[in-house]
Structure 1
Amino acid sequence: MAKIRVLVADDHTVVRKGLRMLLADEDSVEIVGEAADGQEALEKIPETKPDVVILDISMPRLSGIEAAKAIAQQYSTVKALIFSMHNNQDYILKSVESGAAGYLLKDTDKEEILLALQKVSQGDKYFPPTISSVFVDALLGRSRGRTATRGNDDSPLSKLSRKERQILTMIAEGLNSREIAEKLNLSIRTVTNHRANMLRKTKVKNTVELVRIAVEEKKS
């Protein structure tokens, strides 16, 4: 099995070296490079050919969120994983908007880092339980006194059934179709059909767009 190639971007040398040391003995991961800011990370992608770029948020020249957006636009096969000390709603939601495949807090453990790298390198999302409530709140519209009234009927999310909202929430938490099927005791085909129906009902291109819509509604 090929190793997951990882580029680490953080303006603190101790964080970069710490991650390198932490993952050095892992057969499934290879640290292919380091960068001190988001701009340097972008410049090193063609040379290092990473599968995943781990990005701090607060960096000089180009922030992690800005770098994640650029990676999503310029490198379709490279995934951005935000690695931050900030358990902050705005940062988390901005990371989703930027196209980042996941978000980890810096107080996490080695096992969760490995799980996140595996998930995002396979094309899935990863957001740990400690912050997934942000997405649940956004997707269900529980923000600043918003209620399920007729005033929300124009929202694309209002067209979704309760089961579809449940599945969308689980997608936002980082689960793939197989995992959702197992948790809800459904077939993978049924989950796939629900996902297709969500896109058809809301007339958006993908579930990431749905999450972005929920984020915008949360801000309004």
Structure 2
Amino acid sequence: MKIKVLLLDDHLMMVQGIKQLLEHDRVIEVVSTLSNPAEIYDEIDHHRPNILIIDIRMKSFNGISLTRNIKKTFPELKIVILSGYEYDEYIYAAYNAGAAAYVRKENSINELITAVKQSFAGNHVFPQHAVNLSVDRLTHKELEVLKLIAEDKTNMEISSALKLSKRTVERHISSIIQKMDANSRVGAVVNGIKQGLLHV
């Protein structure tokens, strides 16, 4: 069975070049290439790819935001972020948006092919120097609690806002601090901002 790949990059020459290089691998089939992000949902719906390779920065679209939104509609789709940058903030944000892999454009085509195959197999592929990516992602409820912590809400106020018992809130906060590799509520908020979970 071939791995069906959809390519999105607003630089047409870049997307055509990547297509040709990917198709040298017998396991990969590029089902479509796209330079207009506005058409992405229709293309995914039509071709049902296994993997979407997407540029992190396009003229009118942010690849991270697009990844987050696409994953809401197509949760099973594996997304590989292609980037000219290796800033930790971008890597964290890509991971937390639901991307399966983050590959620099300067890397070899073999690394991109590996990322495609590993993503298809259900693995994550991110730069090795990026720390804390192996931790469990926050649950939806934990993310809600973290946002309220960032708003300086007390446990009682969080309990009231989310209609949770005080003990449940305390359990969530303990889990958040552990997952965010922090020592306190403040540390969890700081790491949340760094990882793109919170926007201030």
Question: TM-score normalised by the shorter chain: which range applies?
Answer: 0.5 to 0.7
What CA RMSD, in Å, does the superposition of the two structures yield over aligned residues?
A: 3.1
C-alpha separation in 2, matches of 1:26 and 1:215: 43
Asked if 1:72 is matched to 2:78, the reply is: no
1:215 deviation in Å?
A: 8.1
The aligned amino acid for 1:112 is E
CA 1:49 to 1:211, structure 2 compared with 1: closer, same or farther past 3 Å?
Answer: farther
Larger C-alpha radius of gyration, 1 or 2? 2
2:28 is aligned with 1:32:
no
User: Which structure has the highest helix share of the two?
Assistant: 1
The answer on whether the counterparts of 1:52 and 1:78 sit within 8 Å (CA) in structure 2 is yes
Quote the offset at 1:26 in angstroms.
1.4
Percent identity, aligned pairs only, is: 24
Query: Which residue of structure 1 lines up, in the alignment, with residue 57 of structure 2?
Result: 58
1:109-128 equivalences under 5 Å are 109-127=108-126
The answer on whether the counterparts of 2:101 and 2:125 sit within 8 Å (CA) in structure 1 is: yes
- The whole-number CA distance in structure 1 between the counterparts of 2:109 and 2:86 is 18
For residues 62-108 of structure 1, give each alpha carbon's deviation from its aligned partner in whole angstroms, at most 9, with x where no partner exists.
32111211121111221111001011122111111211111000011
Provide the rounded CA distance (Å) in 2 between the counterparts of 1:69 and 1:137: 17
Report the AA paired with residue 89 of structure 2: D
TM-score normalised over the length of structure 1: 0.61
Q: Which residue of 1 aligns with 2:131?
A: 135
- Answer whether contact 1:79 1:121 (CA < 8 A) is retained: yes
Matched, 1:3 2:8: no
Distance 1:67 1:25 in 2: 28
Give the TM-score of the pair, scaled to structure 2. 0.66
**Secondary structure in 2 aligned to 1:135?**
coil
Cα separation, 2, equivalents of 1:46 and 1:211: 35
